[in-house]
Chain A
Amino acid sequence: MMALIAVPLALGIAGALLGPRRAAWLALPGIAAIAAAAAALVLEVLDSGPQRLALGGFGAPLGIELYADGLSALMLAMTAAVGALVSLYARQYFALAAGGERFWPLWWLAWAAMNALYLAADVFNLYVTLELLGLAAVGLLALAGGAVALAAALRYLLAALLGSLAYLLGVALLYGAHGTLALQELARVVSPGAFSALALGLMATGLALKTALFPLHFWLPPAHASALTPVSALLSGLVVKASFYLLARLWFDVFGPAAGPAAGQALGVLGAAAIVWGGVAALRQRKLKLLVAYSTVAQIGYLFLLFPLATGTAQGAALAAWTGGLLYAVSHAAAKAAMFLAAGSIVHAWGEDDIEHLEGTSARLPWSLFAFALAGVTLMGLPPSGGFIAKWLLLRSAFDAGQWWWAVAILAGGLLTAVYVFRVLRSAFVPSLAGRKLHPIPLGMQLSALALALASVLLGLAAAGPAALLEIGRTP
């Protein structure tokens, strides 16, 4: 458990001290070590249930504890798998583009922060990891340089700080009322009432801002579209999932009955609005990376359907929503990272970002286009992809819970996704004029995007594994 935080942290510090060339050289052993640690933790949780570790032998009230149940293990495994493949892409990408010398230390730091966030067992450490992740993510974004990316980075930073301060004020209320910070303790003492509602409202608003839930998504499209390609993939695939995880953790594990069905419905309405609004905005984009970024705004909406469907509903509906919502988070992480990597390859190869000028892509960059299309299959929710299973579980939960209206949003979102994915594909299948100039993209880069897209599709066939993992230590 410790290795998941210590290894990337050490790599980040080493990368900053050693200088660029040797830092890139550390990438492969580093990825292998983190992936091995994540796999070991998943096996341990599957074998013997939730794991708890008191750092330095100091237990809960005074010391810092780490805790991993099935949900944490799944998020850590998702981060390791997606992080590893994006890192492989990044090794070759930074041979072609500038910015690599400062990418690695920041990325290791962001990875350490995410792993620490998924393992933290008290609300204040969660705040610290949230801030670390935010700062590292803004640093990664600023690597792109230029006025557009810097303005996007500043806006992202201010939004992230506002989000974490709202969260921290919630922490202050909780500590003031209950005198403890540990999630486990808080779960025991938090009771429904105005005070809990205020704390949850502050925390949920802050985290929704950090997750870019409609209408608090204003910072996301410029940020994710102007970042360097591997950074876009990491921000869109992984970083927004961290604050979503935290909200789900607090909502179901800590607040429990104090988070009423009405609040759940409110989050669901915003989620459904995000699905429709993000989908329509994606349709109207002219630049490929902005289209993919608005698609993230839409897909994040699906994650928030978890809250109405698992709050105060019957056992079966809640379980289906829980599994479906979190499987969607994992499928989206792989699919969106794949889509950004593929889109980035295409943009880099042609040297332009206009969706109407993709002619020749199908012939000259078949693997990248295939990765884009496969990722699109997951986001549309076509069988047998992970997105299909997740949406199917959410649909079943909506009907079981008697809340059929969410089904309308789920299906409409799938259609909108199909339209904007096919718009890109149509343009990419137009044959190019002879001699259109193309910067070659190494096969390795194309294949790491394809591997991510394949993983997001195959997740649908192997969904029983993550579903069983999610059962371990589940509260709702």
Chain B
Amino acid sequence: MSAGLAYALAGVLLFCLGLQALLAQAHVLRKILAVNIMASGCFLALVGLAQRGGVPDPVPHALVLTGIVVAVSSTAFALALLRRLAAESGRTTLDRDPAP
């Protein structure tokens, strides 16, 4: 197994761990962290899968940089929303919903 593939598999594992936490954790802060772990897993898979004959491929690096910018902005936005939610209602979870 090449190093690239090992990184990619680790990335997929991180993605799955994040997904599990996103679904299982109730606190929104933990959900936001879980999404970040999923994103890191994605980036690792993106870079790991794109190894060609030991020569690093610059394209996925550029993609991952863009992806990190997107992930940081959405994390900031999610945190801001969570602060507003906590300030307005004292809630930090989403599970108690008005029934449909």
Contacts and interface: CB of A to CB of B under 8 A. Distances in A.
Contacts of A127: 67
A162 B38 contact: yes
A317 B19 CA distance: 39
Interface string A168-210: 1101110111010100000000000000000000000000000
Interface in B28-60: 28, 31-32, 35, 38-39, 41-42, 45-46, 48-50, 52, 57, 59-60
Nearest to B73: A135
B100 A157 contact: no
Interface residues of B, number: 42
A165 B35 contact: yes
Given A147-B88, A147-B91, A151-B97, A172 B45 contact: yes
A135 B77 contact: yes
A175 B49 contact: yes
A165 B67 CA distance: 10
Nearest to A176: B49
Contacts, number: 109
A128 interface: yes
A222 B22 contact: no
Contacts of A154: 28, 78, 81-82, 85, 94
A155 B74 contact: no
B100 A281 contact: yes
A441 interface: no
A151 B91 contact: yes
A124 interface: yes
Nearest to B19: A162
A173 B97 contact: no
A169 B74 contact: no
B100 A175 contact: no
Contacts of A134: 74
B95 to A, nearest CB: 10
A290 B100 contact: yes
Contacts of B15: 165, 169
A269 B38 CA distance: 29
Contact of B74 (A157, A176, A181, A221): A157
Contacts of A153: 81
Interface of A, helix, strand, loop or mixed by DSSP? helix
A147 B85 contact: yes
A148 interface: yes
Contacts of B6: none
Interface string B68-93: 00100110011001101100110100
Interface string B1-28: 0000000100110010001001000001
> Which of A127, A151, A153, A177 gathers most chain B CB within 10 Å?
A151
Given A150-B81, A162-B22, A169 B45 contact: yes
A128 B66 contact: yes
Contacts of B78: 154, 157-158, 161
A131 B70 contact: yes
Given A147-B85, A147-B91, A151-B91, A124 B63 contact: yes
B53 to A, nearest CB: 12
B2 to A, nearest CB: 12
A84 interface: no
A146 interface: yes
Nearest to A125: B66
A162 B74 CA distance: 12
Contacts of A460: none
Contact of B46 (A138, A158, A168, A290): A168
Contact of B22 (A158, A177, A294): A158
Given A135-B77, A175-B63, 11 more contacts: A124-B66, A154-B81, A157-B81, A161-B74, A169-B45, A172-B8, A172-B50, A173-B45, A175-B50, A179-B52, A222-B97
21 contacts: A124-B63, A134-B74, A135-B77, A142-B81, A147-B89, A147-B91, A150-B85, A151-B85, A154-B28, A155-B94, A165-B38, A168-B42, A169-B12, A172-B11, A172-B42, A175-B49, A175-B60, A175-B63, A179-B50, A281-B100, A285-B100
**Ranked 9 nearest A-B pairs via Cβ:** A176-B49, A147-B89, A172-B46, A150-B85, A172-B45, A131-B70, A147-B88, A168-B42, A161-B35
Interface of B: 8, 11-12, 15, 19, 22, 28, 31-32, 35, 38-39, 41-42, 45-46, 48-50, 52, 57, 59-60, 63, 66-67, 70, 73-74, 77-78, 81-82, 84-85, 88-89, 91, 94, 97-98, 100
